[in-house]
Structure 1
Amino acid sequence: MAVRRALALSAVDRYAAMMISLAVFAATGRILGPAEVGMAVLGLTAYALIEVIRDVPTAYLVQQPETSAPAVRSAFTVMASISVLAALMLFLAAPGLAHVIGNDDMYPFFRIIAVALLLGPFERPLVALMRRDLAFDKVALVNIASGGCNAIVVVGLALAGFEEVSFAWALLAGNLAAVAVAWALSPYRRLLGIAISEWRKVLLIGGSSGLWGLIWRYTDSLPQIAFGALSQPAAAGTYSRAQTIVELPGKLLFVVVSQVALPALAAQRRDGRELKGAVLDSLAVISALQWPAFLLVACLAHPLILLLLGPRWLDVVPLVQVLAIARLFAPLELMVYPLLLAARQTGRLLLSAAIPACVYTPVIFVLASYGGFATACAYLVLIPVNTLVGYLMIRRELGVRATEVLGALSPSVLVTAGSAIGPLAILAAHGFRFDLPIGTACAVTVTAAIGWAAAIVASGHRLSPELRHIALLAWRWASPRLRVGS
């Protein structure tokens, strides 16, 4: 019961964070233009890369069976040392970084986020220990306070004319809120202090996951890094907005995968059972949910952009459409990390991130000079390469053949086709133009949902029993109310 409650609270935490981020995404898109957003994205990308390195000690704390002062203090000391060094380097390099991205007035941005880095050691270890104790209600409060404060500050300062620097001040304010709430809720704050007795263990245990996170973050941020190196902040802003919209279906599913798939895979591994069946079942479910969602995003890109960001962001539409189609070739993406982590295949986990990074880097840096659309089109090839690498990394661990993977995915092809029939008919009647009015966009969404549900049931997909169960629960809830109303 405690574990179920913890998982539910963790899901609430993640969904709340997503809703706050989406609100900020929409509000700042209405207030700021692509160039201002792009400069903020470039600065925040630098912060995110440093943050991955700084947070390496948290993995060590989460894996400790018991809380000890030497362990907490060693983790705090390592994190504080990384934070001070990184903040100092970022503070001093601020004028040079601002010059590289083509805006010398950006140096205060980098100096503000350098100060924000220093707050992490006073909050991240405490939150890591809360996670280890399954105190996800407290973790949710910390994250919601931080995200809410960040949202209020960024929107308020953007309205006041602070432009891209509003993101930096919001980051600092959000970090301060996180520290305050974490200290108020955590019983471990008295353990924070200086110690070096376990610094080797801290780096050894947290290093592999930290390195994977750094490579993954770098690869994910490559377009923004390339546009920054080319002094094209507007292109970085436009591309980042397209990427955010396309990633929404994946982020929604990642909550399910990280909270359900990883514990299930780890349990099967501990019990000595083979993982192949569970992974193939997960692929069937994930693809049946993701593929129709990506096609729907591609169809509704124009009204989505108008609704969320406004008319000056319409250049994002073709990028969203191309990236959404490219994501259809990434069915394994959500499974590679939890599978290799559950199997404790650290080397393969690192290779699964490092090989795509080596392929992506030259391609993205070359195509970025031709603009955002060319960069987006590159992913029509790069994502299949990433999928192939992921399959090769898990093939031996699972003992799974390519034909078995394709067999698990084949029912989802039928489901995706079923979900596309209604939208394609409406688009055909509209002359295959994507500038759909809101009413037509709603009709596309409804017909896609009906077609998806019908295809799930008709094809006997693995989701069919779950869908029938949900429909039965909905009917049981609604029927008494309908009788009362009549």
Structure 2
Amino acid sequence: MSTVQRSILFSAVERYASLLLFLVSTAVLSRLLTPKEFGIYAVVGAITAVVAGSSQEFGGANYIIQKASLSEENIRTAFTITFGLSVAIGASLYLLGGALATLFGEDTLRAGLSVAALNFAITPFLMTIVALLRRNMQFGEIAGSNLVGNFATVVASVALAAMGYSYLAPIWGMIVGSVVQTTYLIARRDDVRIFIPSLAGYLDVVRFGLYSSGVVLINLVYNSAPQVFLARVLDFAAAGLYSRATTVTQVFDKLVIQVISPVIMPAICAQTNAGGDLRRIYLHAISLLAVLQWPSLILMGVMAKPIISVWLGQSWLEVVPLVRVLCFAYLSLFAACLTYPVLVAAGSVRDALISSLISLPPSLLLICGASFFGVEAVAASTLVTLPFQAAVAIYFVGRHLDLRPIDIGRATWKSGLVALCSGASAAIWAPLIDYGVVGSVAGIFAAFATAAGAWLAALIVVQHPLLPLVRTAADKALLSVWRLKGPLVVPAVRSDRDAC
């Protein structure tokens, strides 16, 4: 197994275990907290995410990962800058809590921001160690720490919500998780000299950080904007509904994108430094991402009502039309997770910032205007903003890789056929559930099984580039079974492959 495959395996094990924790905790918290309480938590998370991104990425993870020759002094300087900015921003957030609560007309926002500000003193330690582990492709260590931290977050959040801590429960849970994960990683590290303050070579960190943090910051502002606009223009219940709709829509990200995202940057940089063809790597990657993302989003959109009723409960059915619109809009973002790593690998982190500055401010203006017409209008605005952002990002990538629209089409048309076949096969179950012919739980499982079967059959028919990887994974699974149960299965399987 290659280093990249092993890294993805470790990341997948951790992400899927974390996803299980997420599904359980979301189901429990949705029954313990109201949409308004979720809205307050979502707005606190949106504000802290924006200000945290501006400090953590300025001299943090991406600088450490992409640095060709990294010394201990580089690491110490990156940590020092990140820590100084993070503490300063956390203190400012604490002091501005009252003003922000007045701005939104919600006094409880101050307490939430005050608690969230504590995380700014913790995350620089965590981010520095994780960046070093990612650089060295030590994803097993990262997976273990994430599981420990996520478990602590879920247990603390649910326990505090049950004790009546309301919107503060998941915020305190986040703090507990960060403390536990950071303590775990520091305890397992022999050398903590990387945390000794240093400013040697700080200009190199600052130069990279200006562009990198700019990209992260503007994207965080955009991602947080709908909840903030809705809370300010309408109310926190609307923000809570939109936040939950986004969470449901992004289940695919938790299943796939968040599994491979930690690996993408170091893997692409390593392959490019070794002389790999970045254009070929990109086209192959988008074909694989599209055939995984598109069927998942179509399935979620088709089965939104039964999934939400079972997962979140009947009180959250208002988000069903929002989820369906968002699923359709998110189809355009099949290559989004590759844009920043590919541009960095191409030596143009500046273009990553320019791309974001071109596409995101107009999108923010449209979202702001839509928020005056309701949460449904904000969701509908993504049908314009997300395809526009995708087009701008692909244009900038194409400038460096000599790509034309027809190249993107050739790389993804098979993925589109597979997605249509998978989605159409699952769609037959939605009306059967609505008319009571099949129960919700049974219908969901039947739809998933039907979609999976159609997806696999379509892969074979169109001979999709993912198919060899699926066959390899199946062979390894059969080999594992053979080793456990004896040589009764493998000879037949091998002769079938030889015959082909």
Distance 1:124 1:446, change over 3 A: closer
Partner of 1:22: 23
2:434 & 2:314 partners in 1: Cα distance? 21
Partner of 1:467: 470
1:262 & 1:153 partners in 2: Cα distance? 32
Distance 1:414 1:121, change over 3 A: closer
1:380 & 1:36 partners in 2: Cα distance? 28
2:95 & 2:437 partners in 1: Cα distance? 47
Partner of 1:53: 54
Residue 280 (str. 1) matches residue 283 (str. 2):
yes
Q: Is the 8 A contact 2:8 2:260 kept in 1?
A: no
1:218 & 1:418 partners in 2: Cα distance? 36
Q: Deviations over 1:312-366 (max 9, x none)?
A: 1111111111111112222332332222122121122112222221121110011
Alignment of 1:198-347 (within 5 A): 198-230=201-233, 232-255=235-258, 257-258=260-261, 262=265, 265-347=268-350
Equivalent of residue 102 in structure 1, options 79, 102, 105? 105
2:279 & 2:86 partners in 1: Cα distance? 41
Partner of 2:92: 89
Q: Is the 8 A contact 1:456 1:463 kept in 2?
A: yes
Distance 1:83 1:313, change over 3 A: same
Q: Deviations over 1:173-212 (max 9, x none)?
A: 2222233223211223244233333332332233322221
Equivalent of residue 163 in structure 1, options 166, 178, 181? 166
1:436 & 1:329 partners in 2: Cα distance? 32
Task: Give the length in aligned residue pairs.
Answer: 483
3-state SS, counterpart of residue 181 of structure 2: helix
- Tell me the CA shift for residue 305 of structure 1: 0.9
- Tell me the CA shift for residue 223 of structure 1: 0.5
Partner of 2:10: 9
Q: Deviations over 1:399-449 (max 9, x none)?
A: 121122112221122212211332233345567999962222222222111
Q: Deviations over 1:248-285 (max 9, x none)?
A: 21333224543665555435533545433332222222
Q: Is the 8 A contact 1:295 1:324 kept in 2?
A: yes
Counterpart residue type for residue 105 of structure 2: G
Q: Is the 8 A contact 1:126 1:188 kept in 2?
A: no
Deviates more, 1:297-306 or 1:432-441: 432-441
Distance 1:334 1:76, change over 3 A: closer
Residue 121 (str. 1) matches residue 120 (str. 2):
no
3-state SS, counterpart of residue 221 of structure 1: helix
1:107 & 1:348 partners in 2: Cα distance? 37
Partner of 2:355: 352
2:248 & 2:267 partners in 1: Cα distance? 29
2:275 & 2:131 partners in 1: Cα distance? 29
Distance 1:325 1:2, change over 3 A: closer
1:15 & 1:135 partners in 2: Cα distance? 18
Residue 192 (str. 1) matches residue 210 (str. 2):
no
3-state SS, counterpart of residue 123 of structure 1: helix
- Tell me the CA shift for residue 476 of structure 1: 6.0
Structure 1: gaps spanning 5 or more residues: none
TM-score (norm 1): 0.90
1:336 & 1:464 partners in 2: Cα distance? 24
Q: Is the 8 A contact 1:367 1:374 kept in 2?
A: yes
Q: Deviations over 1:276-300 (max 9, x none)?
A: 3332222222211111111100111
2:136 & 2:391 partners in 1: Cα distance? 37
1:13 & 1:57 partners in 2: Cα distance? 26
2:129 & 2:277 partners in 1: Cα distance? 36
Structure 2: gaps spanning 5 or more residues: 490-500
Counterpart residue type for residue 398 of structure 1: L
Deviates more, 1:402-411 or 1:12-21: 12-21
Residue 136 (str. 1) matches residue 122 (str. 2):
no
Counterpart residue type for residue 41 of structure 2: A
Partner of 1:444: 447
- Tell me the CA shift for residue 122 of structure 1: 3.7
Counterpart residue type for residue 208 of structure 2: I
